[in-house]
Amino acid sequence: MSFTPKGKHLIAGNWVAGDTTFKSSPAHGTAFDYPVGTPAHVNAAAEAAEEAFWSYGYSTREQRAEFLNRIADEIDKRGDEITEIGTSETGLPEGRLQGERGRTTGQLRLFASHILQGDYLDRRHDEALPDRAPIPRPELHMVQRPIGPVAVFGASNFPLAFSTAGGDTAAALAAGCPVVVKGHSAHPGTAEIVADAIDAAIKALGLHPGVFSLIQGGKRDVGTALVQHPLINAVGFTGSLGGGRALFDLCAARPTPIPFFGELGSVNPMFLLPDALAARGDAIASGWAGSLTMGAGQFCTNPGVAVVLAGSDADAFRAAATKALEPMGSQTMLTDGIAQSYRDGRDRISGASGVQELLTTTCDLRNATPYLFATTGKEWLANELLGEEVFGPLGLIVEVADMDEMVAVAKSLQGQLTCTLHMDEGDNDNARKLMPILERKAGRLLANGFPTGVEVSDTMVHGGPYPASTNFGATSVGTMSIRRFLRPVCYQNMSAAILPADLT
């Protein structure tokens, strides 16, 4: 391997060793030693971030845009090395890593453009009305301001786009907030080389080094110390429901509670309406198989559940989905732990009452193969466990007796990232019955598509009611995600000479 990691934390511009180390577990290639993070590392990074905020938080939008674009340039300079270490650590193919790198740099450049436009500031102005009776009105200005240092937890399934310089980091830096990243132990080398790119950008532009820090690995005490540190003002997280909920509770229990923006997962159900199912059930089944197995099913928008009306068309859909999934080969999962959790989820579904096995395969070690099961709407409504996410290429077909039961299944859903309608023109009346329910259940609604693939844009919403995310009013993808790291400030009768530059 041409890239040899430093095997250190990056804290306020310095590469720092640790007293203890852990060894990476690559899917293939060389394992390296990395330092174990500690609460002391967290404290040093948080204090540096707070110091940096006094300059970076009051920098101009032009300066921050230049910084974001420079980070993107530095990442691209390291493109081949990032692909090399990333594929080794995760087992993801080169094309996926290259595409994800493009998405990562694209997000950074998109935010640079977004903040230059200035719309996100939501600037408002009420002129003074000194002669208003019975009480004069003062002059009022309002603008969105950065909240301070932010903690970001790297995601296991996206080593670039949701990790070191991913969407949370890009949005926070765009807002004017220094960032402390806790790297994911599944891909520490990838985290390190991206951190090196950010550090190079900081040094090239002469920014305060505390604007960004990376703390590698660590046990639960590192995550706990990070979300409870009094200088951290918000947390961005993408990961499991159990881990995210534990961190969310810690944030709420602080003497000064802070927002925890956690994206925790979803089964992303699809509702196949009768006309669409009859006309093109085979094509939908084929598309579903491709979406379900993409990236070994390790996408938070993986469509794990298909709801259909029982009958001959449903039988044909079952057969077509099984046929489409049968030739799908084994894929390497991101970690041994994720692979084991996938097998545990398979066992939970297969052991549930009223569940029929349509496609069973054999997977072991770090490998994943697809599974397909079927159940009835009645069994689904009686067993909440069937609605829990299985992270991997596992599909469940839910056959309902009629549209009333389909509506009941929709109402039974927990919060979702996405819900999909497969429909033709003749399905409009049935779709109208579902739409008000699905709007309350998910952050993104699709028609005649598959939710894997999240566009990074102004309109994208990647979030939803709990447990899809911990804050249903936020998104972790798209330009609106910057709002998580801003707060409105009103200025009354303030001289223009001392108002924030964004208001003058």
Contact 171, 64 (CB under 8 A): no
What 3-state DSSP class applies to 137? strand
Of 459, 431, 430, the C-alpha closest to 444 is 459
How would you list the strands of the sheet with 150-153, edge to edge? 14-16, 9-11, 212-215, 179-182, 150-153, 234-238, 260-263
Is 300 catalytic? The answer is: yes
Residue tagged active-site, from 74, 89, 251, 300: 300
Q: Are strands 140-146 and 150-153 parallel, antiparallel or unpaired?
A: unpaired
Is 425 catalytic? The answer is: no
214: how many CB neighbours lie within 10 A of its CB? 31
CA angle 310, 373, 90 (to 5 degrees): 140
- β-sheet bridge partners, residue 118: none
Residue tagged active-site, from 84, 263, 389, 405: 263
Q: Are strands 331-332 and 367-368 parallel, antiparallel or unpaired?
A: antiparallel
Contact 441, 428 (CB under 8 A): no
Q: Are strands 234-238 and 150-153 parallel, antiparallel or unpaired?
A: parallel
Contact 358, 397 (CB under 8 A): yes
- DSSP string covering 325-385: HTT---EE-S-HHHHHHHHHHHHHHHTSTT-EEEE-----TTEE--EEEEEEHHHHHH-GG
- Whole-angstrom distance between the N-terminal and C-terminal Cα of the chain? 52
Of 169, 229, 225, the C-alpha closest to 197 is 169
Contact 322, 372 (CB under 8 A): yes
Phi first, then psi: give them for residue 422, nearest 5 degrees: -100, 115
Q: Which residues are catalytic?
A: 263, 300
